[in-house]
Amino acid sequence: MKTPIIELKGISKYFSGIRVLNNIDLTVYPGEVLCLVGENGSGKSTMIKIVSGVFTYEEGLLKINGKAYPKISPEQSINAGIQVIYQDFSVFHELTVSENITMSLQVQKRKVMVDWKANEKLAKKVLEKIGISIDLHSQVGQLPVAQKQIVAICRAIAQDAKLIIMDEPTTALTKKEIDRLVAIIKGLKAQGISIIFVSHKLEEVFAVCDRIAVLRSGEMVVNEPIETFSKDKLVYFMTGKEIEEKPFRFDCDSEEVLVEARNISRFGSFEDVSFKVRAGEILAVTGQLGSGRTELALALFGVEPIENGQILVNKREARIKSIKDALKNGIAYLPEDRLTEGLLLTRSISDNISSTVVDKLKIKSGIIPSKRLADLAGYWMTKLGITNKPHDTLASQFSGGNQQRIVLAKWLAVQPKIFILNCPTMGVDVKSKSEIHTIMQELARQGLAIIMMSDDVGEILATANRVLVMNAGRVVFESDTQGLTQNDLTEKILVG
């Protein structure tokens, strides 16, 4: 029986008297891939920070490679072979690939001088081990996200990692890149390196892991080999409930076409795209990175306007050259990245929700009474099920799922007729995800036309009634979702 790479026995952690981790037992063996699953606030990151030495722990014992560490510093953790890759990959954008890969090793070995040639050789060796080719001299800031991640993984390998903890590694990746990551993980596994894979996404969990450990409210709820799990069982353990998603059916009989695109193009983004969306429909638009789907959304919202073709709203041609134009036509847009594009993180929830309709909340003298802002926020918080916190709570203090609901509320406040949502459930826990789907379906039933950009094939088939697949700026496939299988759709996305 091999020595486990890490062994947590009865670990508990308190923050100001509040117990955030309760009696955690966890063992990871060399070459094992463990999926750590849990909603926001479950204690996942606390546990990771304990293993990596950033946090201390109050009860229990941590052993790494058989050695007991009642106390551990980040340096000791790294020396013992623990590496954490955070969601931002902790790379230096202005520096080269080679330097990013070797810098932490440089610091770890306490080297005073930098030997560029030796470092380059090492970086090259590590890249070859993983089997990917990236130009060692390119600036990391200029690499696509998936390659930045490879650089981060290489950095971990260069430091002789025995356990690599990846925090939500697939958030910014497309399906193809996720497959490549899975292949890399399998390669690392074969070399005896263990991986803890933290993820929300069920498909990936099943694709790559040997074991699943589920944390809920600071407790290890289940820790078993993957074979004993089914999707439903996993969802049940994560949320404590059974969540069933009923596929969306287009009920409305109306032929009322709310928005139509006729041969629209924008140079460098998309070309000759046409589609119609009726009131009550949910149209999903999907495709790989670079397919033009985000650009399409931005064009409909006036951020990057079309250059050719026509957009018709309510059967009349609409000139959409700015966001103002889009709003005038009743179009709202939920952006892909809520943190940088959707929320004012340093402002309160009521400021955020009322930001789109602030003008309309003025009283005669031009002043905006804060009560009106608070009332509006309160209305939407109840309607969308946002956690009940005081109205002046900063947006940054809400979980991912709640933050997404705040952005939704903000746009619903303008009472749009056409709602475009770009990856609405990205980085959102399973429970919030299904609740957001329910909200979307409810909106459709109320007569809105919904266009949803998404990468998640399961989500598309469950939520939308029609799907558009794009590739390199063109529409390559269009179909009703009824009767379409996941495999069919995935194939269309990859092959075009």
Partner 1 sequence: MSKINLRKILTMNEILSLALVIVLSIGFGIANPVFFSVNNIFSLLRMCVLPGIFACAVMLVLISGGVDLSFTWIGMFGAYTTSKVLSALQLNTGFIMPLPIVFLMSMLIGAVLGSFNALLVSKFKIPIFVATISSANIFMGLMFQFVGSVYIFPDKMPREMINFSNILLLPQLTPDGTVVGLHVSVMLLVIVFLVTHFILKYTTLGRGIYAIGGDESSTERVGFNLAKIRVFVFMLAGVIAGIAGVVGVSNIQVANPFDFQGRELGIIAAVVVGGTKITGGSGSVLGVALGVLLTNLITQNLVLIGVPPEYTRFVFGALIIFAIIVQSLQQKYKLKLIRTSTASRETFNKKEEVTNVV
Using CB under 8 A as the criterion, which residues of the chain lie in contact with partner 1 when the complex forms? Answer: 74-75, 78, 84, 86, 88, 90-95, 99, 103-104, 106-108, 111-114, 116, 128-134, 139, 141-144, 146-147, 176, 180, 183-184, 186-187, 190-191, 268, 290
State which residue, 49 or 233, has the beta carbon closest to partner 1: 49
Alpha-carbon distance of 126 to 188, in angstroms, equals 12
State which residue, 53 or 302, has the beta carbon closest to partner 1: 53
Alpha-carbon distance of 135 to 334, in angstroms, equals 36
Q: In sequence order, what DSSP letters do the residues of 68-87 get, joined into one string?
A: E-SS--HHHHHHTTEEEE-T
Longest Cα–Cα distance in the chain: 78
State which residue, 128 or 317, has the beta carbon closest to partner 1: 128
State which residue, 144 or 458, has the beta carbon closest to partner 1: 144
- Residues 6+ away with beta carbon under 8 Å from 265: 271, 272, 273, 306, 307, 308, 309
| Nearest distance from C-beta of residue 289 to partner 1, angstroms | 8
Residue 64: phi and psi, rounded to 5, are -120, 120
Alpha-carbon distance of 444 to 248, in angstroms, equals 10
| Nearest distance from C-beta of residue 320 to partner 1, angstroms | 23
| Nearest distance from C-beta of residue 122 to partner 1, angstroms | 15
| Nearest distance from C-beta of residue 395 to partner 1, angstroms | 21
Task: Give residue 147's identity as a one-letter amino acid code.
Answer: Q
Length of the chain: 496
| Nearest distance from C-beta of residue 186 to partner 1, angstroms | 7
| Nearest distance from C-beta of residue 486 to partner 1, angstroms | 22
Task: Give residue 449's identity as a one-letter amino acid code.
Answer: A
| Nearest distance from C-beta of residue 182 to partner 1, angstroms | 10
State which residue, 10 or 187, has the beta carbon closest to partner 1: 187
**What own/partner pairs with CB < 8 Å and gap ≥ 24 does 311-314 have?**
311/259, 311/260, 311/261, 311/262, 311/264, 312/257, 312/259, 312/260, 312/261, 312/262, 313/258, 313/259, 313/417, 313/418, 314/258, 314/417
State which residue, 151 or 436, has the beta carbon closest to partner 1: 151
| Nearest distance from C-beta of residue 172 to partner 1, angstroms | 13
| Nearest distance from C-beta of residue 98 to partner 1, angstroms | 12
| Nearest distance from C-beta of residue 157 to partner 1, angstroms | 12
State which residue, 134 or 320, has the beta carbon closest to partner 1: 134
Task: Give residue 99's identity as a one-letter amino acid code.
Answer: E
104: exposed, middle or buried (C-beta count within 10 Å: 0-12, 13-18, 19+)?
A: middle
State which residue, 186 or 445, has the beta carbon closest to partner 1: 186
3-class SS of residue 56: coil
State which residue, 292 or 401, has the beta carbon closest to partner 1: 292
State which residue, 159 or 348, has the beta carbon closest to partner 1: 159
Alpha-carbon distance of 250 to 193, in angstroms, equals 48
- Residues 6+ away with beta carbon under 8 Å from 55: 13, 46, 49
- Which residues sit opposite 490 in a β-bridge? none
